[in-house]
Chains A and B, each alone.
Chain A
Amino acid sequence: MNSLSARLVAAFMLLSVVALAVALVVTQRAVEEAAEEKIRADLTRTLDAFQRLSQAAQTRIKDVADAHARDRTFKDEALRVNSDDSAAGLDDGDAELEGIQSAHDVIISADTEVFGWIDKNPSIWAFFNVRKRLVFTHGDDEQVGKTVDNVPLLDRALHEGFASELWSPAYVRNLPFTFVPKTCTDMNTKECMREDDLLLVHAHRATTSGGENSLEQSARRPLGVVLTGRWVKEPLLENSLEKGSSGAALFALLAKDGTLTTSSDVPEQVRKRLVESSSDTIRPLKAPSDGGTPIVLENDSRDENETDSSWAFEVLADDGLYLVREAVFWDVHRKDGKDGTPIGRVFVMRNLDTEIKPILTGVRDWMMRTAVGVVLLAFVLAVMLARRLSAPLVQLEAAARQVRLGALDVEVPVRGTDEVGRLTGAFNEMVAGLRQRDQIHGLFKRYLDPQVVDELIRNPEKAAPGGERRELTVLFSDLVGFTSMSEEMSPEALVDVLNGYFERATEVLGQHGATLDKFIGDAIMCFWNAPLPQEDHAARACLTALRLVAVVDKLAPELEARGVSRLDCRIGLNTGPGVVGNIGSRAAQDYTVIGDTVNLASRLEGAAKVYGTRILVSEETVRASRGTVLARELDLLRVKGRQLPVRVYELVDVAGAPPPAHLARFAEGLALYRARHFTEARERFLSSPEDPPSRVFAARCEALSTQPPPEDWDGVFSLDTK
């Protein structure tokens, strides 16, 4: 993993995977909580809907019962079942029983559909007269006439007009009359006992002028009580009302004696818990005050899941956590706004786990797919991004390589202002700096004067390439005897000597602000007044030449100690116009000067050997130095390749130094020489035997005296050698 791209991609992927995982977990948790909240809220709604449904069902039964009671046939029929004589205790012949019996026979013969309150299904019903004597029960055609005393529902109905109760099968079996046939006949024409169900029993007081809702409130005479029973499981518990909405809520009804009936699929643990919950529930519910507004009695254990009329709890069963909501099961509310009486408890429950599981599974699947897609996308993006990030870096790497290989003109395009862009910019600046440093290095190499270097660093445009014509002073210097020395010494010693000389020489050069052009073997070429203008460029050059000679002189004893023969140097100086600039090809460029001035300086340096002098300067240089040096005119010289003669001088010393005595004698001799008084000149020259130029001139005078020059001799000496 040593590629930035790969690492970036890996990091990006890791990050995105981690983020995705966290998001997945968080989302799942959030979904779970939301689903649970919704289910809880749904429970409340479901319970309310159930209550409304049961109220509606009960009200409908009640209305149907009223309508039937208003039915003429029933009314007339029922007139016979009560006997005022019996009510008055005067019925010795049991006239009431006769009426009851005849009504009983009529009902049986009429086929109970006449009195089938509910549907086309065979119904469970019974009819009693006002003294609670049984007239007819659908559960047993034979039973008639019995006084049924200990069924409080009958008394309530006689008193209030309408009452309901939830009866458990055990209670129904223990009734003093057969309300529901105990065994099912094959034809199943009658409803029979169901063990896991509860019977919702409505008792209506039938009156002569119609039911309880008859308009003629006054002329109502109670005929008896009609009991109708319905098993609750099918219509209420299995009702498709709740199947339509999300999730299948399960219902349970608890009768007052603790018998429970539930929708199918309710596990046994939950059933037990439901039965327990109501027996130890101590919550007192709404107790209507006189004003009719309900008061909820305070209960410490009330949690925020309670509404005024229902409360929630949870049951943990084997197949999951059941959220249960419990409320009181009311019989039908009366018209005057008063609540009905509680006849049991109703529970609605939902299995949280089974309901949440599909949701979560669905969410998880969906999220997985999305996550995979996102991961792939992230991968692609990561790769693209990494590439994009590392591309400039790669570019930078290539550019750096190029820079390493020496191409300092490399520039990487900067894209953006981010770190990479800044890095690229910095790189460019670095390369520019390198370039500059290179230039400076070049400058350093060339411009030994630190001041000059500073100046150029500060104003790099002054070191701009391109040629310009300037007035310059050029200096050539050569070591004499070096070549032979080089043959005597070992290469290491040779280089050592040379470097020692160069060290001091460049120091001198640097002190005098020389622009070093090049070292040619043991020769030095430098110039002044470029690139920076130097007014005293000639003076500087002369001083430099003098100092260079001093350096060589200083070196001599050392070299002698090494066993090296005497070393001397020759210097040639010239001042004149020249073209200075970066000359050469782009790959190999040099800041140098060209022109005739340079050539002359080079000739002068070679010519110094002829005169036996060390420093030979041109007239221009002497003039340009403006009296800062002491110079002796030597000759008029015509060098090779130059038509015009040049007056050459020898640099003796700085101005103000006591001139050696031979200088005056030489001057005299020179004048004589030029006057073609060669003999006199020769004598003059010979008077200075310590002065090599004098000796040279003496020899020349001798040669010329024997062989006098032509008449147009201008006193110029031609030198054909370089």
Chain B
Amino acid sequence: MSAVRRFVLLGVLALAVLPTPAEAGRRPFIWVWDTEIVPKGDVELEQWLWVKSRAPGVPERTSNYWVWWGPVFGLTQRLELAVPFQVLATRERTQLESFDADLRLRFNPRGDDSPWQGLLRVAYHHTIHTTQPPRLDANLVQSFETEGGLRLVLDLGAQVGLPALRGQEGPVRLLGTYAAGVSYPLIEDELRASLEAFGEIPLQGIPGGQHHFVGADVAWTFGRTWVTLGVMVGLTPLFPETPQFMPRLIWAVVL
């Protein structure tokens, strides 16, 4: 058989056959937060790349490219901490945007067999170079998994911008977010396909309108790595200021 086909086959088989880690498809969604956390004592390196493309309603706003990069530590059977930094790249400049501390708390310990699981996420977003104020995020996530592996996740969150934390002037900004997703395992422990919807509603102090997206993505686990790739499509006919596309790639490797 030709070398190319062999290589492809090898790749396919390797993907198909190499043993899977204990956690599989950890983040089935690109936007919706999920209730699974890293096992205690494990460290993952996550990297997100995403783009906020232009909105038809705000033609002068250019696309933004983001990189989120950081380790994720499993602290306890319930607690997970991520400490990433974020980089924003626009057409004019690329700059280190923020350092974050992202804490996720599961209500039930890992290994709990209940189909209902909940998670609370609290994150502090410390901006560095932008005019954006430091931010505090909070998300409440509830998931339900059926016997067949179908997963339904609802995620409600709020982002509070506190300029005072840096001694800046300005009002407190409040952004409400909601996200919901449905994920289905195509190949158990290996491939999941998902649909999600996400929306941001500025509540206070944030210019601009609401953004609402729907998207689809696919999450793939192989070996010590998992990848989730998807795209959110802005509902621009309804909300013209919503960026048209928001694709995101999440990639993580267990150390």
**Are chains A and B touching directly in their complex (CB below 8 angstroms)?**
yes
Contacts of B10 in A (CB 8 A): 73
Cβ 8 A contact of B1, one of A77, A102, A114: A114
Q: Once the chains bind, are A110 and B17 in contact (CB under 8 Å)?
A: no
A109 and B1 CA atoms in complex are apart in Å by: 13
Q: Once the chains bind, are B1 and A73 in contact (CB under 8 Å)?
A: no
Tell me if B5 counts as interface (CB < 8 A to partner A): yes
A584–chain B nearest beta-carbon distance, Å: 129
Q: Which of A79, A80, A110, A113 has the most CB of B within 10 A?
A: A110
A-B residue pairs, 7 tightest by C-beta: A113-B1, A110-B9, A76-B17, A114-B1, A76-B13, A77-B13, A73-B13
Q: A76-B17, A79-B17, A80-B17 are in contact. Are A106 and B1 (CB under 8 A)?
A: no
B-contact 0/1 string along A103-143, CB 8 Å cutoff: 00010011101100000000000000000000000000000
Q: Once the chains bind, are A110 and B16 in contact (CB under 8 Å)?
A: no
A495 and B18 CA atoms in complex are apart in Å by: 159
Q: A106-B12, A109-B12, A110-B12 are in contact. Are A77 and B5 (CB under 8 A)?
A: no
Interface of B: prevailing SS: helix
* Closest B residue to A76 using CB positions: B17
Tell me if B93 counts as interface (CB < 8 A to partner A): no
Contacts of B1 in A (CB 8 A): 111, 113-114
Tell me if B6 counts as interface (CB < 8 A to partner A): yes
Contacts of B14 in A (CB 8 A): 76
* Closest B residue to A115 using CB positions: B1
Question: What are 16 A-B interface contacts by the 8 Å CB criterion?
Answer: A73-B9, A73-B13, A76-B13, A76-B14, A76-B17, A77-B17, A79-B17, A106-B9, A109-B12, A110-B5, A110-B9, A110-B13, A111-B1, A111-B5, A113-B1, A114-B6
* Closest B residue to A102 using CB positions: B16
B-contact 0/1 string along A68-87, CB 8 Å cutoff: 00000100110110000000
Chain B: interface size category: 10 to 19
A127 and B6 CA atoms in complex are apart in Å by: 20
Contacts of A110 in B (CB 8 A): 5, 9, 12-13
* Closest A residue to B12 using CB positions: A106
Residue numbers of A with Cβ under 8 A of B are 73, 76-77, 79-80, 98, 102, 106, 109-111, 113-114
A636 and B200 CA atoms in complex are apart in Å by: 213
Contacts of B13 in A (CB 8 A): 73, 76-77, 106, 110
A222 and B13 CA atoms in complex are apart in Å by: 20
A110 and B16 CA atoms in complex are apart in Å by: 13
Residue numbers of B with Cβ under 8 A of A are 1, 5-6, 9-10, 12-14, 16-17, 187-188
Q: Once the chains bind, are A114 and B17 in contact (CB under 8 Å)?
A: no
A667 and B9 CA atoms in complex are apart in Å by: 179
Contacts of A111 in B (CB 8 A): 1, 5
A106 and B1 CA atoms in complex are apart in Å by: 15
Given contacts A73-B10, A80-B16, 16 further A-B contacts (CB under 8 A): A73-B9, A73-B13, A76-B14, A80-B17, A98-B188, A102-B187, A106-B12, A106-B16, A110-B5, A110-B9, A110-B12, A110-B13, A111-B5, A113-B1, A114-B1, A114-B6
Contacts of B6 in A (CB 8 A): 73, 114
A114 and B1 CA atoms in complex are apart in Å by: 6
Cβ 8 A contact of A114, one of B9, B16, B188: B9
* Closest A residue to B18 using CB positions: A76
Q: Which of B12, B14, B187 has the most CB of A within 10 A?
A: B12
A125–chain B nearest beta-carbon distance, Å: 15
Contacts of B188 in A (CB 8 A): 98
A79 and B14 CA atoms in complex are apart in Å by: 12
Contacts of A73 in B (CB 8 A): 6, 9-10, 13
Contacts of B9 in A (CB 8 A): 73, 106, 110, 114
* Closest B residue to A116 using CB positions: B1
Contacts of B12 in A (CB 8 A): 106, 109-110
A76 and B14 CA atoms in complex are apart in Å by: 8
Q: Which of B5, B16, B17, B188 has the most CB of A within 10 A?
A: B17
A84–chain B nearest beta-carbon distance, Å: 15
A98 and B187 CA atoms in complex are apart in Å by: 10
A77 and B187 CA atoms in complex are apart in Å by: 16
A121–chain B nearest beta-carbon distance, Å: 14
Contacts of A76 in B (CB 8 A): 13-14, 17
Contacts of B17 in A (CB 8 A): 76-77, 79-80
A443 and B27 CA atoms in complex are apart in Å by: 163
A114 and B2 CA atoms in complex are apart in Å by: 9
A98 and B186 CA atoms in complex are apart in Å by: 12
Q: Which of B6, B12, B13, B188 has the most CB of A within 10 A?
A: B13
A410–chain B nearest beta-carbon distance, Å: 109
A102 and B186 CA atoms in complex are apart in Å by: 12
A541 and B101 CA atoms in complex are apart in Å by: 194
Contacts of B187 in A (CB 8 A): 102
A111 and B16 CA atoms in complex are apart in Å by: 16
* Closest A residue to B190 using CB positions: A102
B220–chain A nearest beta-carbon distance, Å: 15
* Closest A residue to B188 using CB positions: A98
A48–chain B nearest beta-carbon distance, Å: 38
A111 and B17 CA atoms in complex are apart in Å by: 18
A73 and B7 CA atoms in complex are apart in Å by: 10
A317 and B9 CA atoms in complex are apart in Å by: 56
* Closest A residue to B10 using CB positions: A73
* Closest B residue to A112 using CB positions: B1
A102 and B188 CA atoms in complex are apart in Å by: 11
Contacts of A77 in B (CB 8 A): 13, 17
A182–chain B nearest beta-carbon distance, Å: 28
Contacts of A109 in B (CB 8 A): 12
* Closest A residue to B1 using CB positions: A113
A111 and B2 CA atoms in complex are apart in Å by: 11
Contacts of B16 in A (CB 8 A): 80, 102, 106
A18 and B188 CA atoms in complex are apart in Å by: 98
A221–chain B nearest beta-carbon distance, Å: 15
A73 and B9 CA atoms in complex are apart in Å by: 8
A568 and B16 CA atoms in complex are apart in Å by: 171
A111 and B12 CA atoms in complex are apart in Å by: 13
A2 and B50 CA atoms in complex are apart in Å by: 133
A110 and B9 CA atoms in complex are apart in Å by: 6
B18–chain A nearest beta-carbon distance, Å: 8
A110 and B14 CA atoms in complex are apart in Å by: 13
A109 and B8 CA atoms in complex are apart in Å by: 11
A525 and B5 CA atoms in complex are apart in Å by: 147
* Closest A residue to B5 using CB positions: A111
Contacts of B5 in A (CB 8 A): 110-111
A540 and B10 CA atoms in complex are apart in Å by: 155
A98 and B149 CA atoms in complex are apart in Å by: 15
* Closest A residue to B2 using CB positions: A113
B223–chain A nearest beta-carbon distance, Å: 13
Contacts of A114 in B (CB 8 A): 1, 6, 9
A690–chain B nearest beta-carbon distance, Å: 170
A98 and B188 CA atoms in complex are apart in Å by: 10
Contacts of A80 in B (CB 8 A): 16-17
A250 and B122 CA atoms in complex are apart in Å by: 86
A51 and B198 CA atoms in complex are apart in Å by: 75
A114 and B187 CA atoms in complex are apart in Å by: 24
A67–chain B nearest beta-carbon distance, Å: 15
A326 and B9 CA atoms in complex are apart in Å by: 47
B167–chain A nearest beta-carbon distance, Å: 59
A110 and B1 CA atoms in complex are apart in Å by: 10
* Closest B residue to A113 using CB positions: B1
A73 and B1 CA atoms in complex are apart in Å by: 13
A617–chain B nearest beta-carbon distance, Å: 154
B24–chain A nearest beta-carbon distance, Å: 15
A106 and B12 CA atoms in complex are apart in Å by: 8
A111 and B9 CA atoms in complex are apart in Å by: 9
A76 and B188 CA atoms in complex are apart in Å by: 18
A103 and B12 CA atoms in complex are apart in Å by: 11
A80 and B12 CA atoms in complex are apart in Å by: 14
A79 and B16 CA atoms in complex are apart in Å by: 11
A248–chain B nearest beta-carbon distance, Å: 38
* Closest B residue to A74 using CB positions: B13
A581–chain B nearest beta-carbon distance, Å: 131
